[in-house]
């Protein structure tokens, strides 16, 4: 099992809705919403700044494609930031829990 951490910036008003959706659909074991983020970027040739929240999404490589599709479909931005990084290591019991909570069957059933 390859654990991933997915970074996704969202408007603060959308953070809870997206976090709940990902966990309810078993696409993520846990989503943390970190408020108070200020993003500076260029969009359509203009310098922009936005107040956002950062979602830290814990999932598996197996569930990532479905997570990406769902997040892109429900995200309010035309081009959402969705970046996944490998978790090089983790507490074995936590990694088992992550696997169980993102399994498509019953908890405890690995994909």
In a domain, 25, yes or no: yes
Cα–Cα distance measured from residue 67 to residue 60, given in angstroms and rounded to the nearest whole number: 10
Q: How much is the pTM?
A: 0.89
Closest to 64 measured CA to CA, from 78, 79, 84, 80: 84
Q: pLDDT-derived band of residue 104, with 50, 70 and 90 as boundaries?
A: confident
In a domain, 8, yes or no: yes
Question: Over pLDDT 90: what percentage of the chain?
Answer: 92
Q: Indicate the DSSP class of residue 63.
A: T
In a domain, 68, yes or no: yes
Cα–Cα distance measured from residue 44 to residue 41, given in angstroms and rounded to the nearest whole number: 10
Instruction: Kindly report, residue by residue over 47-78, the tens digit of the pLDDT.
Output: 999 999 999 999 999 999 999 999 999 999 99
Read off the CATH number of the domain in which 34 is found.
3.30.70.120
Print the domain residue range for 61. Answer: 3-102
In a domain, 20, yes or no: yes
| Number of compact structural domains in the chain | 1
62 token code pair? 């197996």
In a domain, 111, yes or no: no
With a CB cutoff of 8 Å and minimum separation 6, the contacts of 3 are: 58, 59, 60, 61, 86, 87, 90, 95, 98
Alpha-carbon distance values, 7 to 48, 50, 105, 108 (Å) = 20, 16, 26, 26
């Amino acid at each position: 099992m390859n654990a991933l951490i997915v970074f996704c910036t969202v408007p603060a008003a959308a953070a809870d809705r997206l976090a709940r959706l990902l966990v309810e659909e078993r696409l993520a074991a846990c989503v943390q919403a970190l408020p108070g983020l200020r993003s500076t970027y260029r969009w359509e040739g203009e310098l922009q700044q936005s107040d956002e929240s950062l979602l830290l999404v814990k999932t598996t490589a197996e569930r990532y494609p479905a997570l990406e599709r769902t997040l892109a479909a429900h995200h309010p931005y035309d081009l959402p930031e969705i970046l996944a990084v490998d978790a090089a290591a983790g507490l074995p019991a936590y990694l088992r829990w992550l696997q169980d909570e993102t399994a498509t069957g019953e908890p405890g059933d690995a994909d």
